[in-house]
């Protein structure tokens, strides 16, 4: 308990530079302090995001427990090929975003920009596939909640299953909120790519790239839980 | 002004955080934690005023049975709005956003919080929430009570959508503050400010921030699901669609019970500062107070089910929740005993902030005891949804948090504004508030025990007298609060200039910072070499026995902390 260590006042680097590097905000003493703070802040924020989703995971668990058969039957109506493709797409995008951080550390600016753009494209592919999945459902009246009115060869049988509507409510809410996070992530990555192209980052300072990468990994991880829960089991 | 206060040293320098920039925009775009604290103070004072007036109206309606000043629907909307404003828009942000923002970075020896822009964003997000609340009124009001229980809330009143959106939005303001404080405490401490030397206010804010970060997202998703229930009928909470209203209650209280710790833990923090300073005594059991805050924060997540004893949750769940609820009494008790121990060993100086501290100890103890009572399963079946519960939570929330906030505002007022207030008027107000509060809410405890249900517009004749006493109490209480507002404003323009350390306190914001502070807080970053409450250092050196202390010139001034060695690049 008796930790007598105070945070470091300055890093040797900053002291000998005899000036503040341009990215160092005035209320921090050193670049390390600024970087560590940003990273800790981001981790805490990601914890709140997980808790946000946990509410829906609880709702899913409760209703699945109550109506296992309805959930099984309704889950079969989802297109696992599309869902699986999307899983691969997102995993790949996690790799490209990790690469962009790697290139930032190496000061390979062009490669950093390109891997960010690749991430952006993959995120776009994810949303396009999601769009086709959604519209395929909507066409046959498979809407969330009280608008649920399934018809058509593949879906008509859902109309006879009580509580199938609830499964789709949960499906649309969970994937919908996840989709919003994908959109936010795309905006962030686009902005970072633009700044990277402008030459804002260096091996000394690439905090925003790293934080955006963390955020994107979270979006990926949540999908990795959503996919088996909704499509497979 | 007291002699002791007068003796206490130099006046502020001319340039300070209030006057180094001027104009509205310099405030609206500020990233200075002190100014953001003040902007929050003004907004929250306004919310408290509106919510307080609603309370007075609700109380006035209840002065006699039947209709007196408003119809039943208006009454429902009035007490709902009162509850929502007080809980979500006033008490949850109050102490962290006002005093936490102002004091915490200075107590740590930092120039600002870790994320000043996020801090400003928090205020703007809060204001958006406030606007949504107004829209809720415009679009037909809310009559669900502040708990939004489903299925009623999924169908009634057009304002519910805006109101739930407002709560979702203000949740972000709360999360931003929490993240900012946790990171600031971990990463921004001055050299020598070890965890064992953190002022107890900082420990309180630390525990609070953990709760803010871990609980708020749950109310966020709950509000989203409720919004979707209303708009799309997703059938998660609405039993008509196969949903489960008890699930809503679980979600709601999983946030809202911890939220009462968001309200009370900062109050504990303030109390430790007040008791230490005005007992002129190192805190008895520093570590026990610090760690019990964290313990309360953790336990607070395990007891939400005590709000649902009569909801139809399983008997096992109810018994477990009841047991864990008693456990929370232990760390709270530890704190109260340590405060009393500190006073017992110290020499008490009865300035206004100390009056509030004593008043807190009395009221919070009643709040705690009544809480244990309703935590008893069988007893709660009788007391649930009666005025006993209303009395209980007012003793905790108003008798605890609001009283501590008032004490803290008086304590830090000279630091924040650079002015002293009128001590005599302040003492009168403190007494009025204490008396008014007890008259208002103790009668409600009695009524509740006799079976008067809460949220009722009308009542049987036998309760008339108690309701009347309670209503008169609310007037005394209001008189005290308006008095505070009055001399507060007066002091802003006419108060005597405050010295840097009028109370002889030992934490950095008093010893190393002028009143009001410089724009960047410290002229030189301090080097912390001692604990936060070393009042006796001077005695040990000068041979004082530490027993005197009637306030007449006996303020022992702790030495300022020395400056930390400058980094070679000149620290500018
Ligand atoms: C100025 C003094 C106050 C008076 C006279 C007052 C009075 C009242 C009254 C008459 C009710 C309605 C009780 C019912 O019908 O169930 C009420 C409810 C409530 N009050 Fe206050 N109150 C005051 C201050 C506060 C403060 C400072 C808080 C801070 C949190 C607060 C929080 C609440 C809450 C949460 C409810 C519950 C609303 C509900 O059950 O829907 N009150 N108050
Ligand atoms: Cu509770």
Q: What is the pLDDT of residues A52-109, one digit of tens each?
A: 999 999 999 999 999 999 999 889 888 899 999 999 999 999 999 999 999 999 988 8
Q: What angle do CA B323, B206, A41 make, to 5 degrees?
A: 120
The Cα–Cα gap between B295 and B297 comes to 5
In chain A, which among 53-112 make CB contacts under 8 A with chain B?
53-56, 58-59, 62-63
Banded pLDDT at A19 (limits 50, 70, 90): low
Distance B572 CA to ligand 2 centre (A): 48
Distance B473 CA to ligand 2 centre (A): 26
- Inspect the interface and report whether the beta carbons of A56 and B194 lie closer than 8 Å: no
- Inspect the interface and report whether the beta carbons of B235 and A166 lie closer than 8 Å: yes
Q: Strand pairing partners for B386? A: B453
> Which residues of chain A neighbour B17 with C-beta distances below 8 Å?
none
Which ligand sits nearest to residue B400's alpha carbon? 1
DSSP SS3 for B182: helix
Kindly tell me if the per-residue pLDDT of A44 is higher than 80: yes
- Contact status of B361 with chain A (Cβ, < 8 Å): no
Q: Angle at which helices B315-345 and B245-279 pack, to 10 degrees?
A: 10
Question: What pLDDT was estimated at residue B467?
Answer: 97
Q: Whose CA is nearest to atom 35 of ligand 1?
A: B83
What does pLDDT average to in each consecutive run of 10 residues of chain B (572 residues)? 47 76 92 96 97 97 94 94 96 97 96 96 97 92 92 87 95 97 96 94 96 96 95 90 92 95 96 93 91 93 93 89 92 93 88 97 95 92 95 96 98 96 97 98 97 95 96 98 97 94 91 92 90 68 41 60 70 40
- Pocket lining: B455 vs ligand 1, CB cutoff 6 Å: yes
Nearest CA in chain B to A67: B242
The average pLDDT across A120-143 equals: 93
Other residues' Cβ atoms within 10 Å of the Cβ of residue B342: 24
Q: Whose CA is nearest to atom 3 of ligand 1?
A: B55
Question: What pLDDT was estimated at residue A22?
Answer: 81
Q: Whose CA is nearest to atom 6 of ligand 1?
A: B55
The Cα–Cα gap between A157 and B493 comes to 76
Q: Strand pairing partners for B453? A: B386
Which ligand sits nearest to residue B390's alpha carbon? 1
The helix or strand, by DSSP H or E, that contains position B295, with its residue range, turns out to be helix B286-299
Banded pLDDT at A11 (limits 50, 70, 90): very low
Distance B487 CA to ligand 1 centre (A): 25
Q: Strand pairing partners for B497? A: B419
Of residues B190, B213, B232, nearest to A144 (C-beta): B232
CB pairs under 8 A between A and B: 156
Task: Give the mutation target among B398, B455, B466, B470 for probing the ligand 1 site: most ligand atoms within 8 A of CB.
Answer: B398
Banded pLDDT at A49 (limits 50, 70, 90): very high
Question: What pLDDT was estimated at residue B402?
Answer: 97
- Pocket lining: B556 vs ligand 1, CB cutoff 6 Å: no
Task: Give the mutation target among B390, B443, B471 for probing the ligand 1 site: most ligand atoms within 8 A of CB.
Answer: B390
Nearest CA in chain B to A18: B569
Beta-carbon-side half-sphere exposure of residue B87 (alpha carbons within 13 Å): 21
Length of chain A: 233
**Considering chain A, what is the average pLDDT of its residues?**
88
The Cα–Cα gap between B431 and B403 comes to 11
In angstroms, how far apart are the furthest CA atoms of chain B?
78
φ, ψ for residue A3 (rounded to 5)? Answer: -85, 105
Handedness of CA B484, B256, A168, A119 (dihedral sign): positive
Q: Which of A146, A162, A168, A208 to probe by mutation at the B interface, max B CB count within 10 Å?
A: A146
* Listed residue (B181, B188, B107, B174) closest to A36, CA to CA: B188
Question: What pLDDT was estimated at residue B563?
Answer: 86
Other residues' Cβ atoms within 10 Å of the Cβ of residue B291: 16
Distance B325 CA to ligand 2 centre (A): 8
Q: What is the pTM of this model?
A: 0.90
- Pocket lining: B440 vs ligand 1, CB cutoff 6 Å: yes
Q: What is the pLDDT of residues B104-117, one digit of tens each?
A: 999 999 999 999 99
Question: What pLDDT was estimated at residue B568?
Answer: 53
Q: Residue B440: which residues within 8 A CB-CB, separation 6 or more?
A: B59, B394, B470, B473, B474, B476, B477
- Pocket lining: B259 vs ligand 1, CB cutoff 6 Å: no
In the 8-state DSSP scheme, what is residue B521? B
In the 8-state DSSP scheme, what is residue B496? P
- Contact status of B565 with chain A (Cβ, < 8 Å): yes
Q: Residue A51: which residues within 8 A CB-CB, separation 6 or more?
A: B214, B217, B218
Question: From its phi and psi, is residue A142 left (phi > 0), alpha (psi between -120 and 50) or beta?
Answer: beta
């Amino acid at each position: 308990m008796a930790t007598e260590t105070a945070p470091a006042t300055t890093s040797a680097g900053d002291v000998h530079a005899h000036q503040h590097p341009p990215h160092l905000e005035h209320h921090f003493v050193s670049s390390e302090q600024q970087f560590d703070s940003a990273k800790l802040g981001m981790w805490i924020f990601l914890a709140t995001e997980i808790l946000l989703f946990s509410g829906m995971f609880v709702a899913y668990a409760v209703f699945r427990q109550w109506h296992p058969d309805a959930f099984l039957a309704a889950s079969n109506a989802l297109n696992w090929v599309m869902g699986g493709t999307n899983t691969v797409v997102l995993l790949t995008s996690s790799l490209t975003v990790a690469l962009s951080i790697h290139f930032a550390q190496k000061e390979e600016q062009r490669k950093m920009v390109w891997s960010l753009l690749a991430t952006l494209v993959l995120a776009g592919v994810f949303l396009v596939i999601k769009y086709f999945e959604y519209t395929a459902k909507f066409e046959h009246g498979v809407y969330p909640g009280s608008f649920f009115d399934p018809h058509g060869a593949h879906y008509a049988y859902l109309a006879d299953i009580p509580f199938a509507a609830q499964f789709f409510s949960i499906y649309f809410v969970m994937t919908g909120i996840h989709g919003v996070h994908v959109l936010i992530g795309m905006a962030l990555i686009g902005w970072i790519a633009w700044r990277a192209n402008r030459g804002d980052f260096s091996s000394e300072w690439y905090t925003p790239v790293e934080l955006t990468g963390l955020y994107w990994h979270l979006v990926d991880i949540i999908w990795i839980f959503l996919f088996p829960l909704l499509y497979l089991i | 002004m007291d002699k002791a206060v007068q003796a206490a040293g130099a006046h502020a320098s001319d340039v300070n955080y209030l006057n180094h920039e001027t104009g509205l925009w310099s405030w609206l775009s500020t990233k200075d934690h002190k100014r953001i604290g003040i902007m929050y103070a003004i907004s929250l004072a306004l919310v408290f005023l509106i919510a307080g007036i609603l309370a007075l109206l609700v109380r006035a309606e209840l002065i006699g049975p039947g209709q007196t000043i408003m119809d039943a629907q208006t009454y429902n909307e009035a007490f709902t709005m009162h509850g929502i404003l007080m809980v979500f828009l006033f008490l949850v942000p109050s102490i962290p956003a006002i005093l936490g923002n102002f004091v915490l970075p200075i107590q740590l020896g930092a120039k600002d919080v870790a994320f000043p822009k996020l801090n400003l964003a928090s205020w703007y997000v809060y204001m958006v929430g406030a606007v949504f609340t107004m829209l809720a009124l415009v679009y037909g009001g809310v009559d669900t009570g502040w708990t939004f229980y489903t299925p009623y809330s999924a169908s009634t009143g057009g304002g519910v959508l805006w109101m739930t959106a407002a709560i979702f939005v203000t949740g972000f303001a709360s999360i931003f503050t929490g993240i900012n404080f946790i990171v600031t405490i971990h990463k921004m401490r001055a050299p020598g400010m070890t965890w064992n030397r953190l002022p107890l206010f900082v420990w309180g804010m630390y525990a609070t921030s953990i709760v803010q970060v871990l609980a708020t997202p749950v109310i966020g998703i709950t509000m989203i699901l409720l919004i979707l229930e209303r708009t799309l009928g997703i059938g998660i909470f609405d039993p008509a669609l196969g949903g489960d209203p008890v699930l809503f209650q679980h979600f709601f209280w999983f946030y809202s019970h911890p939220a009462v710790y968001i309200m009370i833990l900062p109050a504990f923090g303030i109390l430790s500062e007040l008791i230490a300073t005005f007992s002129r005594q190192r805190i008895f059991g520093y570590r026990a107070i610090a760690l019990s805050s964290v313990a309360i924060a953790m336990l607070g997540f395990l007891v939400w089910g005590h709000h649902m004893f009569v909801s139809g949750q399983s008997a096992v769940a109810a018994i477990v929740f009841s047991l864990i609820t008693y456990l929370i009494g232990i760390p709270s008790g530890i704190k109260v005993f340590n405060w009393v121990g500190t006073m017992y060993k110290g020499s008490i100086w009865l300035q206004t902030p100390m009056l509030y501290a004593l008043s807190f100890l009395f009221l919070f103890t009643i709040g705690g005891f009544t809480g244990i009572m309703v935590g008893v399963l069988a007893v709660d079946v009788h007391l649930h949804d009666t005025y006993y519960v209303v009395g209980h939570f007012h003793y905790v929330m108003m008798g605890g948090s609001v009283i501590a906030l008032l004490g803290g505002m008086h304590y830090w007022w000279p630091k924040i504004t650079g002015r002293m207030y009128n001590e005599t008027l302040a003492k009168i107000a403190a007494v009025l508030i204490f008396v008014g509060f007890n008259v208002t809410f103790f009668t409600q405890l009695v009524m509740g025990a006799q079976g008067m249900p809460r949220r009722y517009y009308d009542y049987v004749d036998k309760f008339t007298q108690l309701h009347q006493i309670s209503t008169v109490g609310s007037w005394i209480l209001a008189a005290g609060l308006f008095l505070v507002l009055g001399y507060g404003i007066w002091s802003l323009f006419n108060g005597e200039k405050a010295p840097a350390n009028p109370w002889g306190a030992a934490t950095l914001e008093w010893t190393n910072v002028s009143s009001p502070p410089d724009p960047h807080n410290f002229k030189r970053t301090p080097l912390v070499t001692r604990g936060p409450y070393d009042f006796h250092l001077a005695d040990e050196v000068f041979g004082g026995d530490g027993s005197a202390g009637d306030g007449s010139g006996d303020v022992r001034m702790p030495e300022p902390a020395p400056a930390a060695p400058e980094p070679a690049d000149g620290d500018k």
